[in-house]
Structure 1
């Protein structure tokens, strides 16, 4: 692992003994955490020094044309409809905010840093799903910000990173994609099956990546506990996990694929987001309408 960001010993100390052992086993297998691009390193140094010069930050982002283009695409999402249209990076920084833009850049940078697997279909399906969940989480958060105090950029960051352990496990285990049937359209990782067959899970590995990329602690925790909402209690990450779980379910509904975890979490998730069974269908319709509008403009 690169020396930048959190070290492996520091990260594993923050985990329980079982999770720490799982992370060590995966890393010993030769997995390489994707490095952060130079633009992100430069932005983080400026943020740490509290240098919020919008012109300088904009010039830094513009060093990476692909990242800049994707940033315009993301802020074209309906969650930022009150600020549009954007014509320059400086306008984005002014309207969205420096810290919020930095969160968006982190999420976009992970997409660019991903390493294609032997089966490009799996890789493309993975990132398509991650970006959709990120966009949906952003919209859910924007709709429920008064209840959850989670902001759109934070939810997008969590949505993009929530399954980022999957590509690393594809690298580590040659049979991972085949055994979990990831090349099958509409099929996604069953974390229980993943744990049974490989003695690890993408949530633990994703937590490791998130810590290494210096994401906010509650987002790292949400990635780690994304399948444990019912057991979280009064945890700082609880609302973020609920937003992720609902975004994943909305994505499943939109794709007309099953989501076996929904029935396990709905009774905990709905009150956490200030929703109920009666208001849920209309809420989902609103989110999907905004999502489909943003992805087709």
Structure 2
């Protein structure tokens, strides 16, 4: 049953001193040009190249075989052609977020974005393998994985003591929604949803961020499939780290059903995911 309260508005958050990060100018320009239908790969590349950090990371992600196939592109415009224009925008959004939030030397931010990238790559891997079942594409799952808990660094910036628990090496999760509501009167799901809407992410991705603490009802369609992918990606991370995933006993059976995975086949499937993740990280 969905019990998620209605998200706060940006105005209500502002009254609490919580700031939704603005989109970088590069993204705004990309969205403007792509809305005009008057562009090509070279013109898109010229816009992205204005931000060296986004360009470098986008190119690195695009060279991953999961996104670009077996032929690694040699130039940014070739990478854009290989990926497609809409996936390029989605990956640029994902890359830009981590360069916009938490640009300082605090170890908690470094750990947070490292964990987010790991989750995003696992989600993309699962989406690629299950695309015929759930129709979620790798770059969409990657985008959702990066943005999934982006409310956390927003709250870290607003509340200096928020990240104290994040500094523990063995922590795989973040404070519970109940704990956040008790201590800060707001939670990272709500913040993440508002960031996703403000950055113009597809509606089903924004909804997945809002509802990622559960598995939403069947009528949520693509949102439900994406949440299932994210739950499984998180479970793989826990398994790789040898840590307990407290949410899996509650939601695991729904995740497997949504992704059309039989429980008897799941141990072998999980082992394959872990092996592929370790190979990609090597």
Q: TM-score, structure 1 length as denominator?
A: 0.87
Runs of at least 5 residues in structure 2 that lack an aligned partner in the other structure: none
1:48-87 mapped onto 2 (5 Å cutoff): 48-80=35-67, 82-87=69-74
Residue 174 of structure 1 is matched in structure 2 by: 160
Residues 65, 72 of structure 2: 8 Å contact kept: no
Residues 22, 199 of structure 1: 8 Å contact kept: no
- Cα deviation code 1:15-41 (max 9, x no counterpart): x99434486553312222222112111
Distance 2:186 2:194 in 1: 12
Residue 93 of structure 1 is matched in structure 2 by: 80
2:172 paired with 1:185: no
Distance 1:274 1:82 in 2: 25
1:132-143 mapped onto 2 (5 Å cutoff): 132-143=118-129
1:249-268 mapped onto 2 (5 Å cutoff): 249-268=235-254
- Cα deviation code 1:214-237 (max 9, x no counterpart): 0000000000000120x4232131
Distance 1:28 1:52 in 2: 40
Which of 21, 32, 40 is the aligned partner of 2:27?
A: 40
Higher relative contact order (CA 8 A, sep 6+): 1
Distance 2:68 2:262 in 1: 27
Describe the shift of the 1:219–1:260 C-alpha distance in structure 2 as closer, same or farther (beyond 3 A): same
Which of 92, 116, 132 is the aligned partner of 1:146?
A: 132
Residue 192 of structure 2 is matched in structure 1 by: 206
Residues 64, 72 of structure 2: 8 Å contact kept: no
User: In the comparison of the two structures, how many residue pairs are matched?
Assistant: 277
Distance 2:143 2:107 in 1: 24
2:264 paired with 1:278: yes
Distance 2:51 2:103 in 1: 20
Kindly state the Cα deviation for residue 87 of structure 1 after the two structures are TM-superposed: 0.6
Kindly state the Cα deviation for residue 116 of structure 1 after the two structures are TM-superposed: 4.2
